[in-house]
Structure 1
Amino acid sequence: MTTSPTVSLSSQMPGERVALRLRLDTSFQSGPLDGAWWPQSRDLQVEAADLVDHFPDLIGRIERLLFSRPDWDAVSGAPSMHRIHAARGRVKVGSFPSDDTHVMIVKMSSGQRLRLLVVPSDTEPGLASRVMQQAADDRNTESPSTLLGLSGPDQSHIGDAVWDDHAASHA
């Protein structure tokens, strides 16, 4: 079963926010991804807070996020981010220096982990829609890099392999 909470693909005015652009496969049983998220910018604090605050209540509450650094803009000289501040409260976040998976691992309060493809914010709406649909299809076997049309080694295994070590060291 695929759910698509208000996916808005309309053009937006600068500074104007649209509804959360998220597509999920709620069977969460197979494939390299559980869905896709198309953030509106490369600002991790703003976009992760939007994800946390507007994530479908029927799926659960987000407890932690593990992100791929190349998907987000870094603030020069700023300390690395360990928490984001959302209306629903603070949420722990983490990343790995060598991670270039284009995936956001979402740990729910139930303990369930979801792997969301992060579609670059500047992606053309038609392409973003197709990529999100494929990522949320439980029959999808393509890696995140392949779905995004990127070349290079598949690193989709990195996030899961090191999540527990990272979470334990930053708990």
Structure 2
Amino acid sequence: MTATIDRLTFSERVTSTPARLSLTPMGSAPGLLDGAWWPRSRDLSRELPDLVDVLDACWGRITRVTVNPTHWSVIPRKVAVAGHKVHVGWFANEQDPHKLILLSYTSGRWDLLVIPPETDAAAAARLMAAAATPGGLATASALMAKEDASREVQESLDQEEAWETEGGHTSAAAENPNPPGSVRSARGM
């Protein structure tokens, strides 16, 4: 019997998707955030390797990542990334629940807004642009709250527009449940 050995590792066979990431321009005024990351899921083991691969090339080797456990169901202690391991820690009260902190021994620290995976593309684009604004003074949670408020206002406007296109009133059947000529009469009750 002949056996063929495939020398490619599993990670080489699976093409990874590029990280959805927006960063402040290099050399720009520092702000509270260094950009935004929009993961495709809430699985850090699956999402961090793509993010760290991109950032290792930009910022030097990322060695540690911290998150707030509020939005992550499982937080691994270590995640394998091309050629090294990244230690993952969490801080429940000390860290903004919408922020990811990345640390490098050689280059420092970066704070990224984490956009929830279920966010629609338009909202994610607005959040990514806001988080990558040089010298920005909004926190990750403040940006998320502003986006939530803006979405609620838009939903309210959409409801109002629907109301106006329907003539601004309820249907005739709802206004008069017993129209003239109906079988039911006040005496028969």
- TM (normalized to structure 1)? 0.68
Please state how far the C-alpha of 1:123 moved relative to its aligned partner: 0.6
Question: Which has the larger share of helix?
Answer: 2
Superposed CA RMSD: 2.2
- The number of residues matched between the two structures is 131
Alignment partner, residue 57 of structure 1: 57
Greater RCO, CA 8 A, separation 6+: 1
Q: Check conservation: 1:52, 1:88, Cα contact below 8 A.
A: no
Question: Which has the larger share of strand?
Answer: 1
Matched, 1:87 2:82: yes
Runs of 4+ aligned residues of structure 1 deviating over 6 Å after TM superposition are: none
Distance in structure 1 (CA, Å) of the matches to 2:146 and 2:45: 25
Gaps of 5+ in 1: 1-15, 75-79, 152-171
Q: 1:38 to 1:64 in 2, by over 3 A?
A: same
Gaps of 5+ in 2: 1-14, 148-189
Matched residue SS, 1:138? coil
1:1-171 → structure 2 map (5 Å cutoff) = 18-25=17-24, 26-27=26-27, 29-55=29-55, 57-74=57-74, 81-98=76-93, 99-149=95-145
Distance in structure 1 (CA, Å) of the matches to 2:140 and 2:28: 16
- TM (normalized to structure 2)? 0.62
Distance in structure 2 (CA, Å) of the matches to 1:81 and 1:28: 33
Distance in structure 1 (CA, Å) of the matches to 2:107 and 2:135: 24
Highest CA radius of gyration, 1 or 2?
A: 2
Identity of aligned residues (%): 35
